[in-house]
Structure 1
């Protein structure tokens, strides 16, 4: 689900808590080594996620927030901020020429530049957390 979070959005707060669980406490954030990525440069975004964006040559950025049962991808377009709520069971990660996040037929591709290299540990931790939460250990057998 995509929400415009430029201003306080009650629907976003309710849906994100329902689908992904409440945000981590301070102690859990410290234990996890942080729950948010740094800034990632967006290469391409699926048409359904553009939400009224006009095509200009600006650079868009996004970041990722961990929740107990999923992630939230926050990204900006002009002066608006959007949040994409993705439960782990719908999340697909692809690490090829670009690092991309897919869910429900939508995607965001991030550039593999300096910002990506600085966030590599976080992205690996996010992928491992998805495996742990969904209990996908049967692949190791």
Structure 2
């Protein structure tokens, strides 16, 4: 789901919390070693995201926030902040080459440039996703 989150309202906050859960507590954030990625640079994206990014002339970047049931990818376009919100079971991350990661979220995708901090965060994200996967078919939404 792609949302404009520049103006926070109760309905969009409830939608986000229902889909990916409320934000981690301070203790959980500390135990995970942080839940927000460093600044990630976008090299390629799907058409809908690209149309928003081309409005920014020089900065094509995003951050990923981990939540208990999914992730939020935030990026800005002119004076607005947008969020791609998805659950872990609808997210796919691939590594097509040594210098980038491809993130697929339902009908959207992003290709981000990889460095050592990015590798560390993606590894943390994978470990959290694997440790919290549904183990029974009844648990899958």
Judge same fold: TM > 0.5, yes or no. Answer: yes
Q: Which runs of 5+ in 1 are unaligned?
A: 137-141
**Which residue matches 1:58?**
58
**Which residue matches 2:107?**
105
Q: Deviations over 1:42-85 (max 9, x none)?
A: 11110123455546752311000000011100111222210111
Partner SS for 1:63: strand
**Which residue matches 2:139?**
none
Distance change >3 Å, CA 56–CA 18, structure 1 → 2: closer
Partner SS for 1:42: strand
**Deviation of the 1:118 alpha carbon:** 2.0
Residue 55 of structure 2 contacts residue 77 of structure 2 at CA under 8 Å; is this kept in 1? no
- The count of residues paired between Structure 1 and Structure 2 equals 133
**Deviation of the 1:109 alpha carbon:** 0.8
Residue 94 of structure 2 contacts residue 101 of structure 2 at CA under 8 Å; is this kept in 1? yes
- Give the Cα–Cα distance (whole angstroms) in 2 for the partners of residues 94 and 11 of structure 1: 33
**Which residue matches 2:129?**
130
- With 1-10 and 51-60 compared, the bigger mean Cα shift is at 51-60
Q: Which runs of 5+ in 2 are unaligned?
A: 136-141
- Give the Cα–Cα distance (whole angstroms) in 1 for the partners of residues 52 and 20 of structure 2: 26
**Which residue matches 1:139?**
none
**Superposition misfits of 4+ residues, deviation over 3 angstroms:** 50-57
- Give the Cα–Cα distance (whole angstroms) in 2 for the partners of residues 20 and 53 of structure 1: 24
Residue 71 of structure 2 contacts residue 85 of structure 2 at CA under 8 Å; is this kept in 1? yes
